[in-house]
Amino acid sequence: MTKSNKILVTISLLFIFVAPLAAAPEGITTGQQLQKKAEQQTDSITTAELMKMIDEELEMVLIDIRTTDEVRNMGGTIEAPQNHVIPRGWLEFRAPGVALSKDTPIVVYCGAGIRSPLAAKSLQDMGYTNVKHYPPGFIGWRKEGLAVR
C-alpha cells in the first residue's frame, strides 16, 4: 500500500470513528441504532472461525461489501476461493447470483465491522437463513497478517 493510500485509509477511518455525528431529527432512527439492532439479530464469527469455514465449507459464500475503491485503497481483499466483492449498494441485487440457496452459509464483512451487520441483516430480510458477519473486517484480517489478494 502506498503512503498516500495509507493516509486516505487513515483519514477515512478517523471520519468513521471520530467525526461528530449530527443528532437525528425526532422520530428518526440513526445509523448507529440500526447497526446495534442488526448486531443483536445477527451472529458474528471470529477470525479462527472464518479461517475454518474457508478451509472446510467450500459451499460457503464470503462477501466483501466494500467498494472497489476501498478494496484497492486498503490493499486488497481476503484471500479465499469463496470470496466475492459485492459493494453494499449492490448486495441485494447481486447476492442471489452467488448464494444460490436460502441455506447457503454466508459471511459478510467490510473494512472494520461497521456496515457488515447491516448487510447481514438485509440478507436475512431477503430470506437467507445462515448469515453471519465478521466484525474485525478486512482491517482485522490484515492486522493478523493473513493472506490477501
The answer to whether residue 8 sits within a structural domain is no
Instruction: Kindly state whether residue 2 falls inside one of the protein's structural domains.
Output: no
- Is the Cβ–Cβ distance between 21 and 30 less than 8 Å? yes
Residue-level pLDDT at 23? 78
Task: Check which CATH number belongs to the domain holding 111 and give it.
Answer: 3.40.250.10
User: Which amino acid type is present at position 77?
Assistant: T
CA–CA gap between residue 129 and residue 99 (Å, rounded)? 11
Specify the number of domains making up the chain: 1
**Domain of residue 124, residue span:** 32-143
> According to the model, what pLDDT value does residue 5 have?
54
Residue holding cell 447476492?
Answer: 95
> Would you state the pLDDT for residue 18?
47
Whether residue 19 is contained in a domain is answered as no
- From start to end of 1-149, where are the E strands? 43-44, 61-64, 83-85, 106-109, 131-133
Residue 13 lies in a domain: no
CB 123 within 8 A of CB 108: yes
pLDDT at 24: 81
Which of 48, 43, 36 is closest to 107 using CA atoms?
43
pLDDT at 114: 95
> pLDDT truncated to tens, each residue of the chain (149 aa)?
566 555 555 555 545 554 445 678 999 999 999 999 999 999 999 999 999 999 999 999 999 999 999 999 999 999 999 999 999 999 999 999 999 999 999 999 999 999 999 999 999 999 999 999 999 999 999 999 999 99
How many beta carbons lie within 10 A of that of residue 147, not counting itself? Answer: 12
In sequence order, which residues have a C-beta less than 8 Å from that of residue 50 and are 6 or more positions away? 62, 107, 134, 141
